[in-house]
Homo-oligomer: A and B are copies of this chain.
Amino acid sequence: MDFRLSDEQAMLRESLSGWLARNYGFEQWRRLTARRPPYSLENWDSFAAMGWLRLAMPEDTGGMGLGAIEEAGVGEAFGSHLVVEPYLSSIVLSAGLIALAGTAAQQSAMLPAIGGGRLRIAFAHAEAESRFELSRIGTRAARTEAGYVLSGRKILVLDAPGADRIMVLARTAGDIAAEAGLGLFILDPKSQGVSLRSYTTVDDRQAADLVLDGAVAEEVLGDPEAAYPAVAAATDRALVYLCAEGVGAMSALCEQTLAYVRIRQQFGQPIGDFQVIQHRVVDMRVQLECARALTLYAASVADGEPLERARAASAAKVQVGRSARFVGRAAVQLHGGIGMTDELAVGHYFKRLLMVETLLGDIDFHQRRFASLPSELA
């Protein structure tokens, strides 16, 4: 057992925190979220130039061959600065799925473009009726002469506005909830039969609901009936990334709140001198450390054996969800009225944490998933 960062990990951390400190203050965030799509392609190019987009890609496609621990490093840094660029959707999920499910040819064709910042793919999986269940997919993909033709509805396709392509999880066979019979298909969002209803999300980013009505896929990733294991693995990786983002955001909130309570005067003293406030600051930190511990654990097993991977990812998501609730709410509360305003970063961290808590399954969902997996204690 060794908790030390490798040289590579330490360098990555350095480069992330250095660049973000120079380029990603709250005012920058404000400018970015006023755009449509709400992020910067220049930033994206910089991420590509620094290699952050191809960290986890296989080396034979120009990637660095690193894993979930490094991706979590990116997540934590991005979370602490509220980075809005489409890393989760395009890199962790879509590129991750291409690496897991795509053929060698597909990998060589797409990964360098994604890693180089020239191609952004959004991932469409959720459907209104499935809540958080990954394999409950009603969207159908039918094989025809022209290729696979897709019909159905997807919701909350993160970063779809502005994406070059959309990857769709659709059913080629089997019952609505079956794990077998699922495939991954890549579409051009401008092609016929694809309509997007774009909207702003609660954290000032963008997503879209997607209606597919006979849309023809450009590409099917690997086996069109056996995508589920790759989707499950990529989702667990994405959970780790999200958890790390949550840890980063909570860490920023803990810092900002501590700084605020030490200067804010009420009743003739800084409110941070009140014991009740001190204990709340402690409880926030304890929650942060619990979330950090399980996120690191989940990252360390995310590239390993599926059962431990799934248990750890769900445990981390539950813990991060709970911690996010506590830390986010306490941060707003301790800031008082000013924490309720759009002017301060606090509220925006709070809303990003709400996304982190819910995306890819909320606390209840992952608590149940955790309980359904075999445990040495049960």
Contacts and interface: CB of A to CB of B under 8 A. Distances in A.
A377 interface: no
Interface residues of A, number: 4
Greatest chain B CB density within 10 A among A274, A276, A279 is at A276
Copies in the complex: 2
Contacts of A275: 274-276
A260 to B, nearest CB: 19
A270 to B, nearest CB: 14
Interface string A61-80: 00000000000000000000
Contacts of A274: 275
Contacts of A276: 275-276, 279
Interface in A254-306: 274-276, 279
A274 B274 CA distance: 9
Nearest to A278: B276
Nearest to A274: B275
A125 to B, nearest CB: 33
Nearest to A279: B276
Nearest to A273: B275
Nearest to A276: B275
A73 B279 CA distance: 39
A144 to B, nearest CB: 48
A207 to B, nearest CB: 33
A128 B279 CA distance: 44
A283 to B, nearest CB: 11
Contacts of A279: 276
A127 B276 CA distance: 47
A275 B273 CA distance: 11
A275 B275 CA distance: 6
A199 to B, nearest CB: 32
A178 B279 CA distance: 52
A308 B254 CA distance: 47
Nearest to A277: B275
A265 B279 CA distance: 21
A279 B276 CA distance: 8
Nearest to A280: B276
Interface in A39-58: none
A275 B276 CA distance: 6
A29 B71 CA distance: 64
A279 B279 CA distance: 12
Interface string A13-42: 000000000000000000000000000000
A274 to B, nearest CB: 6
Greatest chain B CB density within 10 A among A274, A275, A279 is at A275
A274 B279 CA distance: 12
A271 B276 CA distance: 14
A143 to B, nearest CB: 47
A144 B275 CA distance: 72
Interface in A110-145: none
A195 to B, nearest CB: 38
Nearest to A275: B275
A74 B276 CA distance: 38
A271 to B, nearest CB: 11
A274 B275 CA distance: 7
A276 to B, nearest CB: 5
A144 B274 CA distance: 75
Nearest 5 pairs of A and B residues by beta carbon: A275-B275, A275-B276, A276-B279, A276-B276, A274-B275
5 contacts: A274-B275, A275-B275, A275-B276, A276-B276, A276-B279
